């Protein structure tokens, strides 16, 4: 064994005066090199401490620990149990001795730090710690508390070494010391210490409760966990311990034998009872075997050796601080602890109730109501405290009442703030809800308003009201009675915001309608244009126009009806009607125009016909020859058609004009036919008249001529003829007075008449000449015979 005990903490006084303050001294000179050694500093550390009342074999036991440590962690052999030592081998290591005077002072560490590497790769360093026994005659309560508290804080396993049994004062001490340690440590809400190992030395009741860990467990159960057997006063002590340590165990050790009291006792195994040795072999591995080692943790963090040094320095400073409280006598401390526990419980009761009342899930409470509850819970807490076994006189106890009241009052401010904050939170929540509602409203309305379709105002209002009502329902569902005022205010704001949004969406909707309407308007105009375009090319006859109108109107309407008009049906219908009206009007106007034009044309047409007819009428006042008539007809017709051709077509189609010209031609021919037949009739009549008059005239001529004899002289003949001729000619000339006179016909028959008259004249003249010759011959030859012949001839008188 190369190591040695190193006193790392020693206890001294500030100065030599009687009331001087006790101070701790830290042996950094030896501690620092030990803990920052390269071999150990980065290893997780296990610190096994033994503490408890003085003269109870702590150092003695630690020396057996050392034997195990060297055997297990240096020599690597503990299997044959030889590690416990030889029978004659004096026990060495931490200083121990018999007698009544204290031996160990302050806190010591064994200089050799034992190392172990777990197969997992985890590397640990194990440190053994011996401590000054408590309650020796020389030590003050503060010394005891300091040593116990510091060793508890530094170690990962605190072995609380107790004689014979766990007494109430043991627990009180333990509580006092651990509380003392707690004061020096920051409260992290976790259990501050790791393992507490009660070690009961000289267990006297083996037949009742067996030695070892099993017996220890039973004893611990009885003391810590059995509520029936435990006085309420102890209950708090036990609960306190449980909240201080992660793990609490107990081990019952037998008495080592009376030899240990002998002055020459060297700690040799031969002097120890077998039971004791047997339980050393059992106990020590339970604490020191690798599988049972506990690594020092602070706030759940494993501590390295080098960090342990920092903590020791830190704790050391805390304990030496002038502000650090002085522990009072055990009684006072116990009373303090006891009363404090009950006061704390009473405070906690107040705290719990107020916490419940003001929990985040609880509604805001009216200020006056909260104050009332505070008073009520404070009274309950005080009566709860009064009902507990409180230690000390009334004056001593008064401070706890005050403390509870102060606690309640000071905490009430906090609770009031928490409660107040709920109001702000409620407002914030309502505002968030309001914003969420507005977003929901906008989303619902946006979804609804996707697209170009207009929604009729009534339907729009209905939808809007529906969405608004759902949104308000959602908002109202979050309402709590306690924050009704805020809810009402923010709800009003929400309604106002929704109404503004309503106006916005309504405007958007109306804009859509306006857009749809303007589109309808535009398309209506386009349809009208299409109609106009189609009608521009239409034929000019009314029938063609009517047909074209029907087609163009149909196309225009078809085009127009394609325009989307959802939501603006009435407007669309109006426009459609307007379109129909406009097209019809346009049609009527075109038609009227055409009719007017046609009428005008017709008028002109008739005028032209009349012109022709007038001309014909004029010429047909006289009877004309067919040739003349035809020639006049051709002339007039040509003239009229020329006039027709001079007419502007006035928008009429060429075909139409050709057709009309043709018609005019035909009509003229028809008129001509009339005048021709009329003329023919007159001409015929006139011819007949001419013929008959000619015959009459000839008769007039012939009658006197017939009365002439062949013996009339030529002169007579001539004069007769001339008289008759003039008379006959006069008769014929009367024809000229006839209305139906025709010069050519008249001349023609006059000419014939003259020829016939000439022929008659010649015939009669010749006969007269013949008669004269006969007469002359007869005068001369037949003067005589004339008489005879005359007589004979009387039968046949000569013609002249
Ligand atoms: N009755 C009894 N005595 C023991 C036991 N173990 C050791 N002793 C004796 O108790 C005496 C004191 O032993 P120490 O180890 O010095 O005791 P300590 O608790 O370290 O004493 P301080 O350092 O003064 O606090 C010695 O004479 C030991 O022989 C035990 O289990 N029972
Ligand atoms: Mg000792």
- Separation of alpha carbons 728 and 705, rounded Å: 12
Q: Is 798 in the pocket of ligand 1 (CB under 6 A)?
A: no
Question: What number is the average pLDDT over the span 63-77?
Answer: 91
Nearest Cα residue to atom 23 of ligand 1: 104
Local structure of residue 735 (DSSP, 8 states): G
Q: Is 57 in the pocket of ligand 1 (CB under 6 A)?
A: yes
Q: How far is the CA of 57 from the centre of ligand 2 (A)?
A: 7
Residue 387 pLDDT exceeds 50: yes
Q: Report CA-CA distances (Å) from 643 to 392, 576, 764.
A: 150, 47, 61
pLDDT band at 29 (very low <50, low <70, confident <90, very high): very high
pLDDT band at 485 (very low <50, low <70, confident <90, very high): confident
Residue 327 pLDDT exceeds 70: no
Please enumerate in sequence order all residues whose Cβ is within 8 A of that of 711, keeping only pairs 6 or more positions apart, or say none.
768, 771, 772, 774, 775, 797, 798, 799, 800
Which comes out higher in pLDDT, residue 174 or 562? Answer: 562
Q: Is 52 in the pocket of ligand 1 (CB under 6 A)?
A: no
pLDDT tens column, 308-318: 888 888 778 87
Across 28-42, b (16+ Cβ under 10 Å) vs e yields eeebbebbeeeebbe
Domain 5-327 has what CATH class?
Answer: alpha beta
- Separation of alpha carbons 67 and 85, rounded Å: 7
Q: How far is the CA of 6 from the centre of ligand 2 (A)?
A: 13
Q: How far is the CA of 201 from the centre of ligand 1 (A)?
A: 10
pLDDT band at 232 (very low <50, low <70, confident <90, very high): low
Name the token pair of 800: 């002249």
Q: How far is the CA of 98 from the centre of ligand 2 (A)?
A: 10
Which comes out higher in pLDDT, residue 447 or 209? Answer: 209
Half-sphere exposure of 775 (CA within 13 A, CB side): 16
Local structure of residue 49 (DSSP, 8 states): E
Q: How far is the CA of 63 from the centre of ligand 1 (A)?
A: 11
- Separation of alpha carbons 345 and 472, rounded Å: 46
- Please calculate the CA angle 712-710-725 and round it to the nearest 5 degrees: 65
Q: Is 202 in the pocket of ligand 1 (CB under 6 A)?
A: yes
Q: Do 8 and 108 form a contact (C-beta atoms < 8 A)?
A: yes
Half-sphere exposure of 206 (CA within 13 A, CB side): 11
What backbone phi and psi angles, to 5 degrees, belong to 209?
-135, 120
Q: Which of 27, 49, 217, 227 is nearest to 127 (CA)?
A: 49
Q: How far is the CA of 61 from the centre of ligand 2 (A)?
A: 9
Q: Name the residue of 54, 57, 105 whose CB sits within 8 Å of the most ligand 1 atoms, as the mutation to test its pocket.
A: 57
pLDDT band at 21 (very low <50, low <70, confident <90, very high): low
**pLDDT averaged over the chain?**
84
- Separation of alpha carbons 58 and 134, rounded Å: 11
Q: Name the residue of 52, 96, 273 whose CB sits within 8 Å of the most ligand 1 atoms, as the mutation to test its pocket.
A: 96
Among the bound ligands, name the one nearest to the CA of residue 132: 1
Residue 659 pLDDT exceeds 90: no
H-helix or E-strand spanning residue 786: helix 783-795
Lowest mean pLDDT among 119-123, 208-212, 339-343, 561-565: 339-343
* Cβ neighbourhood burial of 355 (10 Å; 0-12, 13-18, 19+): middle
Q: Do 703 and 723 form a contact (C-beta atoms < 8 A)?
A: no
Q: Which CATH architecture fits 333-431?
A: Up-down Bundle (1.20)
pLDDT band at 452 (very low <50, low <70, confident <90, very high): low
Which comes out higher in pLDDT, residue 34 or 717? Answer: 34
Q: Is 757 in the pocket of ligand 1 (CB under 6 A)?
A: no
Residue 186 pLDDT exceeds 60: no
Name the token pair of 636: 């007039």
Q: Name the residue of 55, 91, 254 whose CB sits within 8 Å of the most ligand 1 atoms, as the mutation to test its pocket.
A: 55
Q: Is 497 in the pocket of ligand 1 (CB under 6 A)?
A: no
pLDDT score recorded for residue 182 = 67
Name the token pair of 192: 């501050």
Q: How far is the CA of 770 from the centre of ligand 2 (A)?
A: 224
Nearest Cα residue to atom 7 of ligand 1: 57
> Of ligand 1's atoms, which has the minimum distance to the CA of residue 201?
31
Q: Name the residue of 7, 60, 101 whose CB sits within 8 Å of the most ligand 1 atoms, as the mutation to test its pocket.
A: 60
Half-sphere exposure of 625 (CA within 13 A, CB side): 9
CA-based radius of gyration for the chain: 79
Name the token pair of 225: 């966990």
pLDDT tens column, 403-439: 899 999 999 988 998 888 888 888 888 899 999 999 9
Among the bound ligands, name the one nearest to the CA of residue 108: 2
pLDDT tens column, 729-764: 888 888 888 877 888 888 888 888 888 888 888 888
Half-sphere exposure of 321 (CA within 13 A, CB side): 12
- Please calculate the CA angle 785-791-794 and round it to the nearest 5 degrees: 120
pLDDT score recorded for residue 370 = 92
Q: How far is the CA of 104 from the centre of ligand 2 (A)?
A: 4
Q: Is 201 in the pocket of ligand 1 (CB under 6 A)?
A: yes
Three-class SS of residue 193? Answer: strand
Q: Is 60 in the pocket of ligand 1 (CB under 6 A)?
A: yes
Q: Is 279 in the pocket of ligand 1 (CB under 6 A)?
A: no
pLDDT score recorded for residue 141 = 67
Q: Is 59 in the pocket of ligand 1 (CB under 6 A)?
A: yes
Among the bound ligands, name the one nearest to the CA of residue 90: 1
Measure the CA dihedral 191/197/200/206, to 10°. 110
Number of residues that make up the chain:
800
Q: Do 439 and 498 form a contact (C-beta atoms < 8 A)?
A: no
Nearest Cα residue to atom 5 of ligand 1: 57
pLDDT score recorded for residue 292 = 93
Residue 229 pLDDT exceeds 60: no
Question: What number is the average pLDDT over the span 8-25?
Answer: 70
Q: Is 104 in the pocket of ligand 1 (CB under 6 A)?
A: yes
> Of ligand 1's atoms, which has the minimum distance to the CA of residue 60?
15
- Specify the residue for token string 């709860």: 384
Question: What number is the average pLDDT over the span 597-601?
Answer: 76
H-helix or E-strand spanning residue 460: helix 457-477
Question: What number is the average pLDDT over the span 193-217?
Answer: 92
- Separation of alpha carbons 608 and 215, rounded Å: 152
For ion ligand 2, residues whose CB falls within 5 Å: 58-59, 103-104
Question: What number is the average pLDDT over the span 684-703?
Answer: 84
pLDDT score recorded for residue 77 = 81
> Of ligand 1's atoms, which has the minimum distance to the CA of residue 62?
15
- Specify the residue for token string 């020791």: 312
Three-class SS of residue 271? Answer: helix
Nearest Cα residue to atom 6 of ligand 1: 57
Local structure of residue 255 (DSSP, 8 states): P
Q: Is 56 in the pocket of ligand 1 (CB under 6 A)?
A: yes
Question: What number is the average pLDDT over the span 634-657?
Answer: 81
Q: Do 48 and 157 form a contact (C-beta atoms < 8 A)?
A: yes
Q: Name the residue of 10, 11, 51, 56 whose CB sits within 8 Å of the most ligand 1 atoms, as the mutation to test its pocket.
A: 56
Q: Do 286 and 250 form a contact (C-beta atoms < 8 A)?
A: no
> Of ligand 1's atoms, which has the minimum distance to the CA of residue 276?
31
> Of ligand 1's atoms, which has the minimum distance to the CA of residue 104?
23
pLDDT score recorded for residue 333 = 54
Q: Strand 245-252 to strand 193-201: parallel, antiparallel, or no bridges (unpaired)?
A: parallel
Q: Do 58 and 50 form a contact (C-beta atoms < 8 A)?
A: yes
Among the bound ligands, name the one nearest to the CA of residue 65: 1
pLDDT band at 329 (very low <50, low <70, confident <90, very high): very low
pLDDT tens column, 511-535: 888 888 888 888 888 898 899 888 8
- Separation of alpha carbons 713 and 774, rounded Å: 12
- Specify the residue for token string 């404070």: 378
Residue 330 pLDDT exceeds 50: no
Nearest Cα residue to atom 27 of ligand 1: 98
Cα 124 to chain centroid distance, Å, stands at 60
> Of ligand 1's atoms, which has the minimum distance to the CA of residue 98?
27
> Of ligand 1's atoms, which has the minimum distance to the CA of residue 133?
25
pLDDT score recorded for residue 14 = 64
Q: How far is the CA of 51 from the centre of ligand 2 (A)?
A: 9
> Of ligand 1's atoms, which has the minimum distance to the CA of residue 95?
16
pLDDT band at 17 (very low <50, low <70, confident <90, very high): low
Q: According to the 3-state scheme, what is the secondary structure of 303-325?
A: CEHHHHHHHHHHHHHHHHCCCCC
Lowest mean pLDDT among 435-444, 694-703, 764-773: 764-773
Q: Report CA-CA distances (Å) from 300 to 190, 297, 307, 532, 564.
A: 8, 5, 14, 94, 74
């Amino acid at each position: 064994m190369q190591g040695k005990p190193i006193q790392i903490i020693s206890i001294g006084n500030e100065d030599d005066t009687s009331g001087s303050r006790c101070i701790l001294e830290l042996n950094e000179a030896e501690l620092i090199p030990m803990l920052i050694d390269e071999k150990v500093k980065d290893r997780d550390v296990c610190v096994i401490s033994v503490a408890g009342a003085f003269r109870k074999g702590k150092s003695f036991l630690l020396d057996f620990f050392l034997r195990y440590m060297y055997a297990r962690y240096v020599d690597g052999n503990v299997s044959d149990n030889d590690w416990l030592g030889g029978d004659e081998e004096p026990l060495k290591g931490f200083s121990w001795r018999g007698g009544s005077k204290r031996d160990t002072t302050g806190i010591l560490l064994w200089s050799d730090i034992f190392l172990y590497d777990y197969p997992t790769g985890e590397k640990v360093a194990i440190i053994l710690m011996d401590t000054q026994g408590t309650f020796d005659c020389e030590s003050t309560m503060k010394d005891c508390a300091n040593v116990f508290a510091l060793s508890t804080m530094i170690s990962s396993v605190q072995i609380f070494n107790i004689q014979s049994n766990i007494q109430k004062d043991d627990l009180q001490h333990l509580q006092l010391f651990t509380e003392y340690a707690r004061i020096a440590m920051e409260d992290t809400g976790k259990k501050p210490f790791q393992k507490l190992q009660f070690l009961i030395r000289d267990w006297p009741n083996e037949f009742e409760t067996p030695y070892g860990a099993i017996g220890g467990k039973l004893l611990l159960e009885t003391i810590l966990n059995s509520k029936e057997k435990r006085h309420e006063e102890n209950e708090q002590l036990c609960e306190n311990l449980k909240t201080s340590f992660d793990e609490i165990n107990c081990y019952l050790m037998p008495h080592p034998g009376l030899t240990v009291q002998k002055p020459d006792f060297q700690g040799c195994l031969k002097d120890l009872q077998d039971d004791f040795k047997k339980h050393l072999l059992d106990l020590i591995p339970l604490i020191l075997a690798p599988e049972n080692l506990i690594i020092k943790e602070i706030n759940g963090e494993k501590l390295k050796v080098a960090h342990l040094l920092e903590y020791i320095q830190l704790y050391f400073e805390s304990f030496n601080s002038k502000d650090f409280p002085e522990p009072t006598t055990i009684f006072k401390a116990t009373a303090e602890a006891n009363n404090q526990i009950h006061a704390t419980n009473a405070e906690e009761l107040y705290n719990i109730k107020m916490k419940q009342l003001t929990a985040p899930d609880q509604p805001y409470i009216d200020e006056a109501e909260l104050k009332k509850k505070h008073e009520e819970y404070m009274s309950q807490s005080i009566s709860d405290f009064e009902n507990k076994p409180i230690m000390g006189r009334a004056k001593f106890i008064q401070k706890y009442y005050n403390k509870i009241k102060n606690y309640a009052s000071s905490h009430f401010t906090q609770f009031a703030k928490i409660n107040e904050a709920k109001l702000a939170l409620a407002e914030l929540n309502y505002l968030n809800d309001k914003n969420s509602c507005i977003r929901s409203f906008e989303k619902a309305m946006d979804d609804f308003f996707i697209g170009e379709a207009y929604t009729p105002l009534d339907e729009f209002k209905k939808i809007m009201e529906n969405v608004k009502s759902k949104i308000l329902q959602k908002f109202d569902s979050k309402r709590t009675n306690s924050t009704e005022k805020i809810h009402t205010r923010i709800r009003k704001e929400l309604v106002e915001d929704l109404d503004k949004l309503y106006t916005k969406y309504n405007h958007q909707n109306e804009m859509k309608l306006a857009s749809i309407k303007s589109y309808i308007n535009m398309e209506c105009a386009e349809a009208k244009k299409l109609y106009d375009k189609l009608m521009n090319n239409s034929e000019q006859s009314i029938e063609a126009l009517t047909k074209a109108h029907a087609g163009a109107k149909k196309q225009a309407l078809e085009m127009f009806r394609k325009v989307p008009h959802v939501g603006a049906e009435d407007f669309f219908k109006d426009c459609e009607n307007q379109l129909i009206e406009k097209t019809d009007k346009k049609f009527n106007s075109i038609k009227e125009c055409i009719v007017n034009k046609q009428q005008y044309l017709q008028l002109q047409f008739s005028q032209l016909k009349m012109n022709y007819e007038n001309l014909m009428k004029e010429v047909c006042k006289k009877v004309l020859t067919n040739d003349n008539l035809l020639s006049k007809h051709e002339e007039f017709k040509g003239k009229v058609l020329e006039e027709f051709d001079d007419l502007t077509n006035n928008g009429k189609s060429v075909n139409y004009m050709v057709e009309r010209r043709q018609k005019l031609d035909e009509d003229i021919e028809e008129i001509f036919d009339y005048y021709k037949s009329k003329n023919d009739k007159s001409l015929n009549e006139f011819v007949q008249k001419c013929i008959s008059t000619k015959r009459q005239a000839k008769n007039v001529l012939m009658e006197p001529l017939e009365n002439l004899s062949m013996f009339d002289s030529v002169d007579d003949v001539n004069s007769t003829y001339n008289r008759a001729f003039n008379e006959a000619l006069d008769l014929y000339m009367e024809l000229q007075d006839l209305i139906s006179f025709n010069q050519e016909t008249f001349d023609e028959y006059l000419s014939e008449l003259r020829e016939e008259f000439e022929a008659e004249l010649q015939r009669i003249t010749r006969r007269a000449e013949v008669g004269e010759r006969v007469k002359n011959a007869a005068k001369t030859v037949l003067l005589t015979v004339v008489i005879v012949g005359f007589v004979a001839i009387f039968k046949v008188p000569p013609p002249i």
